[in-house]
Structure 1
């Protein structure tokens, strides 16, 4: 287990380029299983979750060639279906949440799929019903082995169907979409997720020969085709990293420029941070955050306390609520953070309270943050990272605090942020990795 020793109170300055999007990468990598031709993917982040998925694909028989520091060429012409029955496969797949998205491509191309119960962040229940009900709508037969916690899917004759998803699940939509592109006939997915990463997946599949319309909306129509070909694809910059850097700049009174942010794909993320009182300047496709000694949280028009809540796209992404929460601790004013989707994601606030933050945890979903306006700086402590996003929030808190902090279990942070210590040190931070 690794830890970060963080010296707080330093002001950072400089330019930083966001990595390729983690959540997009997990979808796109699974899509290489849909064709026997070469697929080249650029801007792949060097992070634990992505590397584990690439390793899993290689174990399944996919040819993996690294052709540049952030570019890979994949060829899935020789997938070893017998490997799916091995304990090694089931163990590796269970360690990675995104592994569930290999099921759609396997069903589409090979007519069967198997996976053990996926792992990932410990942030509460993350049910998979949407995935499997979607497969069943396409004609697949589903069996769950409760003893071994293994999902078995038989999808030899997938046929297009109309379906109304019970929730606009991003991974569920991606999985069903990838199964439907090779199914016979027309599939309609209503209440589909429409995040930019999902749009990217649709665009990639269409370049491979799929026939998907309605991209960017919550109503997708897919005309099944017999075969898909190869393509080249470049990932978007990670919007969660971009939001994290905005919060970091505000908390540490730093002047930071985020390069190549693809601002038009960020939705309401910039405006949400502006409502927190943070100044942002758009310079072409770069976001410049000037150093701010004070920033004040807005209220609603009637003067009531601002609420920041997560919602399906184009609403505010749940992955940035923890960043909003920690950023609010040193703002002027009060905000209610409402985490609707996951019931355990706010439990990291006890560490912030230990650092001196004024936070009331109302229930598993809501926390009220009373900003200190820098009158009472946070103090460095020893703490443990419970998940990816909370881990980075604690890192931001530690960078802004007085004294030295130690963050344990930084493997959680490594799952989603590549070289985060090195990149922030290049801006003037003092983060030492302790193995």
Structure 2
């Protein structure tokens, strides 16, 4: 087990390039199973979750050439379907929530698949209902094997259908889309997720030969085809990492330029940070965050306290609420953070309170933050990272705090952020892996 030792209170400066999008990568890399032809994927983030998925594909028999760390050439022309029933698969997939994304492509091409109990963050319940119910409406039969810990899926009679999703799940939408592109007939998905990562997946599938209408909306119409070919695809920069760097710059009073951010695909993320009083300058596709002594949280027009909450796209992504919360601790003013989707994601605030932050945890979903306006600095402590996003929020807090902090369980951070310590040291941060 590794930890980060952080000496805080240092102003940072320089440029940083965001990694490829983790959440897009898990979908796109799973989709290589849809074709026996070569797939070239670039801007792949070199992180634990993504590398674990690539390893899984390799153990399934997919040929993988990695000429650079951010580029892979996949060819799934000789896949061992039965590997998905092995103990090795269950152990590895149990560590990775994204392994569920293999089900859709397997059903489309091989008409059978397996889903193990999902792993990943300890942030509350993460249901598979949307995936399973969606597959069922396409005619997929499933049963759960208690002794194996696997859902067995049989798509021998898979046909297009009308689906009204009970929630606009990103992974659920992606999985159903990948199954439907090779199902017989027409599939209509209403209340589909429409995040940029779903749009990227649909555009790539279209280049492979899929017939998809409504890309970018919550109503997708898919005409099934019999064969998909190879293509090339470049992933978007990670919007969560971009938001994390904006928060880092504000908290540490730093002057940082975030390069190549694909601003058009960030939605309302820049505006949410502006609501916290953070100055952002858009320079082409770059975001410049200038040094700022104090940033002041805006109130609503009627003078009431600002509330920031998560919502399906084009609303604010839940993955950045942890960052917004920690950034608010040093702002002037108050804000209510409302995390609707996951009931355990705010449980890291006890560490921030130990550091001197003024936060009231109202319930598992809401926290009221009273900004200190830098009149009282956070202080360094020893803490542990509970999940990817909270881990980076704590890292940002440690970099802004006075004194020395130790962050344990940083494997959680490594799951989502590529070489984060090396990249932050280039900005002047004092962070060491111990």
- Scaled by the length of structure 2, the TM-score of the pair is 0.99
Moved over 3 A (4+): none
In 2: Cα distance, 1:297 partner to 1:372 partner: 11
The residue number in structure 2 matching 1:39 is 39
In 2: Cα distance, 1:85 partner to 1:201 partner: 27
The residue number in structure 2 matching 1:162 is 162
In 2: Cα distance, 1:157 partner to 1:246 partner: 49
In 1: Cα distance, 2:118 partner to 2:62 partner: 21
Write out aligned runs for 1:368-383 (5 A). 368-383=368-383
Q: Deviations over 1:195-222 (max 9, x none)?
A: 0000000000000000001000000000
CA drift at 1:64: 0.7
Match status 1:287 vs 2:287: yes
Write out aligned runs for 1:324-343 (5 A). 324-343=324-343
In 1: Cα distance, 2:156 partner to 2:89 partner: 22
The residue number in structure 2 matching 1:225 is 225
Q: Does the 8 Å contact 1:91/1:116 carry over to 2?
A: no
Q: Deviations over 1:145-191 (max 9, x none)?
A: 24443111001221000010010000000000000000000000000
Match status 1:238 vs 2:238: yes
CA drift at 1:94: 1.3
The residue number in structure 2 matching 1:174 is 174
The residue number in structure 2 matching 1:142 is 142
Q: Does the 8 Å contact 1:62/1:76 carry over to 2?
A: yes
The residue number in structure 2 matching 1:115 is 115
In 2: Cα distance, 1:84 partner to 1:428 partner: 45
The residue number in structure 2 matching 1:68 is 68
Q: Deviations over 1:389-416 (max 9, x none)?
A: 0000000000000000000000000000
In 2: Cα distance, 1:409 partner to 1:68 partner: 28
The residue number in structure 1 matching 2:52 is 52
Note the aligned Cα RMSD (angstroms). Answer: 0.6
Write out aligned runs for 1:277-426 (5 A). 277-426=277-426
Unaligned regions of 5+ residues in structure 1, if any?
none
The residue number in structure 2 matching 1:427 is 427
| Aligned partner of residue 126 in structure 1, secondary structure | coil
Q: Does the 8 Å contact 1:6/1:405 carry over to 2?
A: yes
| Aligned partner of residue 103 in structure 2, secondary structure | helix
| Aligned partner of residue 300 in structure 2, secondary structure | coil
The residue number in structure 2 matching 1:19 is 19
Write out aligned runs for 1:242-257 (5 A). 242-257=242-257
In 1: Cα distance, 2:27 partner to 2:152 partner: 20
In 2: Cα distance, 1:168 partner to 1:85 partner: 29
CA drift at 1:366: 0.1
In 1: Cα distance, 2:374 partner to 2:25 partner: 38
| Aligned partner of residue 298 in structure 2, secondary structure | coil
In 2: Cα distance, 1:68 partner to 1:83 partner: 27
In 1: Cα distance, 2:145 partner to 2:358 partner: 46
Q: Deviations over 1:55-78 (max 9, x none)?
A: 000000000100223111000000
Write out aligned runs for 1:67-146 (5 A). 67-146=67-146
Q: Deviations over 1:228-271 (max 9, x none)?
A: 00000000000000000000000000000000001010000000
In 2: Cα distance, 1:169 partner to 1:384 partner: 29
How many residues align? The count is: 434
